[in-house]
Amino acid sequence: MPFPPEATLADVGEFALVAELTALFEQGDHVLVGPGDDAAVLRVKQGHVVVSTDLLVEGQHFRNDWAEAVDVGHRAAAQNLSDINAMGGRAHSLTIGLGAPADLPARWALSFAAGFAAECAKVGASVVGGDLTRCDQVVVAVTVLGACKLTPVRRGGARPGDVLALAGRQGWSAGGLAVLTRGFRSPRALVEAYRRPEPPYDAGPAAAEAGATAMIDVSDGLLADAGHLAEASGVALDVLSDSLEIPEPLQAVAQATGADPVRYVLGGGEDHSLLATFPDADRVPDGWTVIGAVSEGEGVTVDGAAYDGDAGWTHF
């Protein structure tokens, strides 16, 4: 740590902190101009640029008593990288805007940046620019840029007769949050999953290559995001609850709290799993599990019936 452990952002000052943060970000070969100029400059191949942005707000998207700064960094990167994944693309570059109170420990910002950089390294993406400013709350604004070789996979292409498939862990983060909300710290695997989601970064491009007709990142909740896909495609979706994997630690939590574990899987959002539709089950690639079917109509059902659990998340 280049600063005294108790040093705040105000103690360290903007320029010294930016220099330390920038040193954490390795630049890929595609970065002609990295952090430190008016803008970054990237060499891109002919094709499509995929871009997405997200805001994370302290107290709203993370709590500093439930997650270390390094975890918040992993998570902020993961949720953005996942948006590129959900188009069938691969992320190459990100920017970070960090708003923070003057009395925030400088080590928080450095640990956050280290976690962010480590998550980006999983897919070979570079942090190419950013902004640092004073704010009453910690606010993290991330924009991610990626490339997709093939036609991007949108939300609106599902057709009756397609199968619905899921890739990645689902319900783990929601289970971790349920544990933390009750004041517990275990099962550790679920708490870790809440702190650091593990999106299935290869599943998006694999689905695109396999001919997925529609795809979405599960961030609001499996049923909620299935609803967004159904609405955009003008179709009905049915989820077969027997096809959903209920991980062992989630069964344990459900038993302890008296809740139905399927509820976490259907309602949970922040694992950043992917939902996609494919023309038939034979085209569903490795890493994906068929969990339902597409038919004419509208809305999302579970085992053919309306589901009355907590199905999602809105910001206001």
Considering only residues 48, 149, 159, 283, which one is a binding residue for a copy of itself as defined by CB under 8 A?
Answer: 48
What's the gap between Cα 229 and its chain centre? Answer: 17
Shortest Cβ distance from residue 227 to a copy of itself (Å)?
11
Report whether 29 belongs to an annotated binding site. no
- Return the range that interacts with a copy of itself (CB under 8 A); candidates 14-22, 173-181, 186-194, 302-310: 14-22
In the range 218-277, which residues lie near a copy of itself by CB under 8 A?
232
The reply to whether 305 sits near a copy of itself by the rule CB under 8 A is no
> Encoding tokens for residue 271?
């694992």
Buried b (16+ CB within 10 A) or exposed e, 109-142: bbbbbbbbbebbeebebbbbbbebeebeebbbbb
Report whether 53 belongs to an annotated binding site. yes
Residue nearer to a copy of itself on the CB measure, 32 or 281 = 32
d(CA 230, CA 219): 15
SS3 146: strand
Residue nearer to a copy of itself on the CB measure, 167 or 216 = 216
Shortest Cβ distance from residue 279 to a copy of itself (Å)?
20
The reply to whether 293 sits near a copy of itself by the rule CB under 8 A is no
Amino acid at 270: E
Report whether 83 belongs to an annotated binding site. yes
In the range 59-88, which residues lie near a copy of itself by CB under 8 A?
60-61, 82-84, 86-87
> Encoding tokens for residue 235?
């179709």
The reply to whether 149 sits near a copy of itself by the rule CB under 8 A is no
Pair 180, 123: CB distance under 8 Å: no
Report whether 136 belongs to an annotated binding site. no
Strand-pairing partners, residue 146, are 50, 91
Binding residues for substrate: 61, 270, 313
